[in-house]
Structure 1
Amino acid sequence: MPETLFAFALASMLVELTPGPNMAYLAVIAATEGRRRGYAATAGVALGLAIVGGLAAFGLAALVERSPLAYQILRWGGVLYLLWLAYDGWRGAGETIEHAPPGSSDWRYFRRGLITNLLNPKAAVFYLSVLPTFLSGKDGLSETLLLSGIYVTVATVIHAGIVTLAGAARAFLEDPRKERLLRRVLSVGLALIAFWFAVKTGR
């Protein structure tokens, strides 16, 4: 179990460190509007991820426990999803997001962070395809809630770090060569985690 939790935390970290909407959004907010509003947006993102995770947990637990076929479908879906993320990161595909207007209240930044993740298909797909590959099937609900909590914690720590170091992080990501290097390093890591899924999570 500890090995599985570590691997899941590592996968979560690599997914969250890959440049994407949340990273860009939080870095720009903190750099242009200040850390306080960046932290407000981070809290909204965390709540959004927790809500999606909770909804997925109650639906996934029974499904995975009762249907080996469903588990295998989700398992291989997770492998393919991570490989797709690795490919997407390697080729450097960018994503755009909508920002709150400058001068907005902290609540507005919190709300944008929340809504962005409630409507973010990547968050739902992660819970529905990647997370189940780490379930043993013995106690689906408890395991799913535990892994969801780990994912939200890892994501929030990373997002808070991005806000705290927004100036340096934004400067790094604006350098095309450094961004390309970061994407490729993280993409290789994601691909390795995907292969680990295929070998370690077979039943």
Structure 2
Amino acid sequence: MPHEAWPVDPMAIAPFLAAVVLIELTPGPNMGYLAGLSAVEGRRAGFVTVAGITCGLLAYMLASVAGLTEILRINRPLYELLRWAGVAYVLWLAVDAWRGGERAEATPERASDWTLFRKGLLANLLNPKAALFYVTLLPGFVQPGHASPTQQAFILGSTHILVSILVHGTIVLSSDGLARRIAGIGGSVSARRIFAAALLVTAGWIAFETRR
């Protein structure tokens, strides 16, 4: 197939995949939240949360295709608002997880699927790492001489979402070993509090690593 017939630059495919895999494997809010949640609540809760996270990525991809993420690039105050809202939301998740440990001592209960989905969706919509990907990285792989910029953004964004599903699904599936280790420390209450502490660390990571 001639080089120009490809919808995206074929020379950019391998570097793009490498960048996406590296980004998804870099510790961040989604990875930490999924690992802790799946260890505490189980695989079903993890997969429902993955669905919410994926819908958040889809929203960013569609915004990128429509050119809306450009607003974040040129409007620094808006980006900072998103960044600190993400930090505040993860801090709230940490507090909620800690309180969940206190509730578990009295009456064990599991969150509904809708609650899990909503938390995953909001965690990703308020994830500045996801915003940075669609604002700064993806546009660099859209090249002239191929399909329209909109089509290229859609193809590349869909590839990113597929990779994220594979990575997040693997995290959920591998959570059993983590759950057993945490359970050995002191049961479900201790597990939830360890999860809360991990979320606090994640909030600090977001605040430090997403500056630009």
TM-score (norm 2): 0.60
> What does residue 192 of structure 2 align with?
none
Whether the 8 Å contact between 2:45 and 2:116 is mirrored in structure 1 is yes
Task: Look up the equivalent residue of 2:38 and give its one-letter code.
Answer: A
Task: Return the match for 2:160 from 127, 145, 151.
Answer: 151
Q: Quick check: 1:105 aligned with 2:118?
A: no
Task: Return the match for 2:34 from 16, 26, 36.
Answer: 26
Larger Rg: 2
Task: Return the match for 1:56 from 64, 77, 82.
Answer: 64
Task: Look up the equivalent residue of 1:136 and give its one-letter code.
Answer: Q
TM-score (norm 1): 0.62
> What does residue 79 of structure 1 align with?
none
* Partner secondary structure for residue 45 of structure 1: helix
> What does residue 77 of structure 1 align with?
none
Change (3 A) 1:133 1:60: farther
In structure 1, distance between residues paired with 2:169 and 2:131: 21
Q: Deviations over 1:146-175 (max 9, x none)?
A: 11101111111100000000134687xxxx
Q: How far 1:29 moved relative to its partner?
A: 1.0
Task: Look up the equivalent residue of 1:125 and give its one-letter code.
Answer: L
Task: Return the match for 1:44 from 33, 39, 52.
Answer: 52
* Partner secondary structure for residue 59 of structure 1: coil
> What does residue 138 of structure 2 align with?
131
Task: Return the match for 1:35 from 43, 48, 70.
Answer: 43
Change (3 A) 1:115 1:60: closer
Whether the 8 Å contact between 1:31 and 1:167 is mirrored in structure 2 is yes
In structure 2, distance between residues paired with 1:128 and 1:153: 19
Task: Look up the equivalent residue of 1:58 and give its one-letter code.
Answer: A
> What does residue 209 of structure 2 align with?
none
Whether the 8 Å contact between 2:54 and 2:161 is mirrored in structure 1 is yes
* Partner secondary structure for residue 111 of structure 2: coil
- Structure 1 residue runs without a partner (length 5+): 64-72, 75-95, 172-203
Change (3 A) 1:49 1:169: farther
1:46-195 equivalences in 2 (<5 Å): 46-59=54-67, 98=93, 101=97, 102=100, 103-138=110-145, 139-168=148-177
Task: Look up the equivalent residue of 2:164 and give its one-letter code.
Answer: A
- Structure 2 residue runs without a partner (length 5+): 1-8, 75-89, 101-109, 182-212
Q: Deviations over 1:13-39 (max 9, x none)?
A: 110101111111101111110100100
